[in-house]
């Protein structure tokens, strides 16, 4: 597809490099000629130096031929205006990065009346990711499908845990849980396992199950509490604003440590049920005085990556069950994992990943029924959500009578408000949402997962 990216900051750079590597025709635009030149020199892409709000500059970037325009400048208003102008010039779809919550409240109007296909708020999305980590505290990562009605959780098999050495076919009998292990990552290898596969310590496994079943699983295999009740947040910025709201709704006891008095006053006004402390969250005495050693979770959301990493390592040393670290500089992500920080969030990576999901789904949805597509395990695994349409050969047939092609697995089915972890007796019906996990990256329709 022909894609125009406006704004060559960190998010724009990640998008350009990734989408170029996936075979798309990429053009980037930025006001800074040196930034544009650097991106063109290091990638097989085209570049235009120009202003996102000048029609002639957009036309020079061939906006009229763009399947998708992605506006990720530092200004919400420029991103929105750029998308509106691009649509008028002939671009088919538009994505705007928008941080101001006021615009987010007008999402339906923006999409239906103004034609902005997608708006992404990095801080809101990052807060959602953190909330899922705390809701499923033993999960390393959780992806949601069917508008949040089904989760795909990634957990790690710990040495000596009940999963270590357990065959998949024995999980339901031994643990008395109704769940499905969709994929196993062992080192650099990712496989779709059958029932004879045996789990080993160090494996990362991807599981679908009902919320209650996942909670039971965490009690059996987790190394932290299966239920979080209290947390300390260091840093009171935008992510904290969205996160505190969600955590209070989940019943958490929330304590926020923020250095600026004015921001503390605002947070206390917005969230009277949260405890707001005006202090330096990097001060060891303050942390101990506020009960860090006895809290269930610490979330470090300061504006300095190094501070967040050091605070997180200190909390792990104290034995805090769940530690979530925000990191902006993508170069620090592999380093943080290497020192044992597994629950790391990056607003820039989150923005890029959501946009990539949209682009991939659009590419794959041409002549297909794909509505969501995630890439997991360092892009070695795909989780794809389809809608079942009428007239297909597999509708209403028991899954036991259908032969799946190697490398495919039906991970879950959503039928109305009902969530189904499929077995051989289940069947697919028209309008079902079906989540398929696969190591095959060339699938375009649900029909392709079945053998003739």
Is residue 178's pLDDT more than 90?
A: no
> What Cα–Cα distance (Å) separates residue 87 from each residue in 69, 100, 104, 351?
9, 22, 20, 21
The DSSP 8-state label assigned to residue 169 in this structure reads G
The position carrying tokens 């009740």 is 229
The reported pLDDT for the residue numbered 274 is 96
Q: What is the pLDDT of residues 317-363, one digit of tens each?
A: 999 999 999 998 888 888 887 888 888 999 988 888 888 878 877 77
State residue 364's pLDDT score: 61
Mean pLDDT, range 26-43, rounded to an integer: 93
Domains of the chain are: 2-120 (3.40.50.720), 137-221 (3.30.70.1450), 230-320 (3.40.50.720), 369-449 (3.30.70.1450)
Closest to 275 (Cα-Cα) out of 291, 285, 288, 314: 291
Residue 244 has pLDDT above 80, yes or no: yes
Residue 218 above 80 pLDDT?
Answer: no
Stronger pLDDT, 184 or 451, i.e. the higher one = 184
In the chain, the percentage of residues whose pLDDT exceeds 70 is 94
Per-residue pLDDT at 446: 80
Q: Residue 450: which residues within 8 A CB-CB, separation 6 or more?
A: 393, 394, 402, 403, 404, 405
Rank 232-236, 339-343, 381-385 by mean pLDDT and report only the highest: 232-236
State the pLDDT at residue 319: 92
Backbone angles phi, psi at 446, to 5 degrees: -65, -30
One DSSP character per residue, 94-109 reads EEEE---HHHHTTHHH
DSSP label of 183: E
- Would you say 402 and 447 are in contact if contact means Cβ atoms under 8 Å apart? no
Contact 382, 441 (CB under 8 A): yes
Chain mean pLDDT for the chain: 87
Q: At what angle do helices 347-364 and 10-21 cross, to 10 degrees?
A: 30
Residue 442 confidence (pLDDT): 65
**pLDDT of 103:** 76
- Determine the Cα angle at 130 with ends 182 and 120, to 5°: 95
- 84-110 per-position pLDDT tens digit: 999 999 999 999 999 887 776 776 777
Confidence label for 146 from pLDDT (cuts 50, 70 and 90): low
pLDDT attached to residue 366:
57
**In the 8-state DSSP scheme, what is residue 65?**
G
Q: The pTM is what?
A: 0.80
């Amino acid at each position: 597809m022909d894609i125009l990216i406006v704004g060559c900051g960190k998010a724009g750079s990640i998008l350009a490099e990734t989408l170029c590597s996936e075979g798309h025709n990429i053009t980037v635009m930025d006001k800074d000629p040196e930034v544009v030149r650097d991106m063109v020199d290091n990638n097989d892409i085209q570049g235009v130096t120009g202003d996102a709000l000048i029609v002639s500059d957009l036309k020079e970037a061939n906006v009229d031929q763009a399947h998708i325009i992605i506006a990720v400048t530092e200004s919400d208003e420029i991103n929105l205006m750029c998308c509106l102008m691009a649509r008028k010039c002939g671009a088919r779809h538009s994505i705007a990065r928008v941080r101001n919550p006021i615009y987010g409240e007008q999402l339906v109007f923006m999409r239906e009346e103004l034609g902005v296909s997608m708006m992404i708020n990095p801080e809101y999305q990052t807060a959602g990711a953190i909330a899922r980590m705390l809701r499923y505290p033993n999960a390393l990562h959780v992806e949601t499908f069917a508008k949040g009605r089904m989760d795909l959780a990634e957990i790690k098999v710990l040495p000596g845990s009940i999963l270590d050495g357990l065959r998949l076919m024995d999980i339901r009998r031994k643990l008395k849980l109704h769940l499905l292990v969709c994929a196993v990552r062992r080192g650099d290898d990712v496989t779709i396992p059958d029932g004879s596969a045996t789990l080993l310590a160090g494996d990362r496994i991807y599981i679908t199950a009902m919320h209650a079943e996942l909670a039971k699983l965490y009690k059996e295999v987790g190394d932290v509490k299966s239920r979080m009740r209290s947390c300390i947040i260091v840093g009171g910025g935008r992510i904290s604003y969205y996160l505190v709201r969600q955590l209070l709704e989940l019943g958490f006891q929330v304590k926020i440590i923020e250095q600026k008095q004015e921001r503390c006053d605002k947070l206390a006004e917005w969230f009277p049920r949260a405890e707001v402390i005006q202090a330096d969250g990097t001060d060891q005495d303050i942390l101990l005085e506020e009960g860090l050693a006895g809290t269930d979770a610490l979330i470090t959301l300061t504006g300095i990556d190094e501070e967040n990493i050091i605070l997180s390592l200190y909390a792990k040393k104290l034995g805090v069950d769940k530690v979530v670290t925000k990191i902006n500089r993508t170069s620090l992500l592999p380093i943080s994992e290497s020192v044992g920080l597994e629950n790391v969030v990056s607003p820039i990576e989150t923005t890029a990943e959501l946009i990539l999901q949209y682009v991939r789904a659009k590419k794959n949805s041409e002549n297909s029924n794909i509505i969501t597509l995630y890439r997991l395990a360092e892009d070695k695994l795909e989780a794809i959500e389809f809608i079942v349409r009428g007239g297909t050969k597999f509708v209403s047939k028991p899954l036991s009578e259908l032969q799946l092609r190697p490398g495919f697995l039906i991970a879950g089915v959503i039928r109305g408000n009902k969530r189904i972890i499929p077995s051989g007796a289940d069947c697919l019906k028209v309008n079902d949402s079906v989540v398929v996990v696969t190591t095959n990256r060339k699938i375009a329709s649900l029909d392709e997962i079945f053998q003739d």
